[in-house]
Amino acid sequence: MSELPSSLDTRDSMMQYTEHRPSPLLAQHLECFWFLSDTNSSPATGASERVLPDGCVEWIFHLGSPFQRSTITGEWVRQPRSFVVGELTRFLLLQPTGDVAVMGVRFRPGGAYRFLPFPLSDFTDSTVRTGDIWGHAGTYLEEAVLEAHNDMQRQQLVEEFLLRQLATTTSRPRFDAAVKEIIRARGQTRVHAVANGVGWSSRQLERDFGASLGLSPKAFSRVMRFQNLLRLVGEGALREWANLAIEGGYADQPHMVREFREFAGHTPAEKGIAAGEFSSYFVSPRRLAALLGPS
């Protein structure tokens, strides 16, 4: 199991975060397996974690006390032991409820459809329990992962399960090519141009994105443009916000601020990219460079 470097400085924290590469057979579909532990967390001591939309589906296993998430009404609801969280169209607030031990499986943008038996539109802005997705096989896997002795064994169990799912499905090359083009352009491309590039009509592209990704091509482009803005801000180079808006493909600075507020819940001037100790890793320069490719 190959470990990726972590960008979190844990010298003054009990929190430990690591990433591991998936097997080569899964690498084009999965970004990584990640593991988080913190033996000193609770709603009283742990700050809220703000998870931002990034175009990736996540499969979460709570090996310790499950997190709680904030609902639209402001209530806090405890998460299941394991679940898949679909594409996000707005930020998600999380809090620990006790000792934290989490394994996450992060799919690449557009990479989850080969493994899920339902249209990805069923998962958008929602979470679905592992057992509700894969039935008895999913429940059995959840129990096996929770009872495993170490992270290497947990990753192996999930990889074997995913490889069995992969063998029962076929790829969608035009959809895959469309996703790659939107990422390459960092969301700065027209839907009809993407559709023409893969030999589809705009309506066909919309339909396949709903089923295979869970967002429309336009919504996915907006998320990638937002992630690219986070990359530009995270690079630390001195830029005026108006110049960042132009470089990021926005019509003007107010347009950029509106989009940022919709995805993050605040403007960039108010809090920068404030996310939380753990979720700040998801917007680290290294991670965003890997997600979007070289500048």
In this predicted model, what pLDDT tens digit does every residue of 166-213 receive, in sequence order?
Answer: 999 999 999 999 999 999 999 999 999 999 999 999 999 999 999 999
Distance CA 92, CA 72 (A): 10
pLDDT, residue 3, reads 59
CATH topology identical between 3-166 and 173-292? no
CATH of 173-292, one of 3.90.25.10, 1.20.1640.10, 1.10.10.60, 2.30.40.10: 1.10.10.60
Domain at 3-166, CATH homologous superfamily? Jelly Rolls (2.60.120.10)
Mean pLDDT across 140-153: 97
What confidence tens digit (pLDDT) does each residue in 21-66 have? 999 999 999 999 999 998 776 665 557 889 999 999 999 999 999 9
Is residue 292 within 8 A of residue 227, CB to CB? The reply is: yes
Query: Domain-by-domain residue ranges, the chain?
Result: 3-166, 173-292
| DSSP per-residue letters across 192-234 | HHHHHHHT--HHHHHHHHHHHTSS-HHHHHHHHHHHHHHHHHH
Q: According to the model, what pLDDT value does residue 156 have?
A: 98
Give the orientation angle of helix 217-234 with respect to helix 202-212, to 10 degrees. Answer: 70
Q: How far apart are CA 38 and CA 43, in angstroms?
A: 13
**For position 285, what pLDDT does the model report?**
85
Q: Chain-wide mean pLDDT for the chain?
A: 90
Instruction: Give residue 6's pLDDT.
Output: 42
∠ at Cα 213 (209, 216), nearest 5°?
A: 45
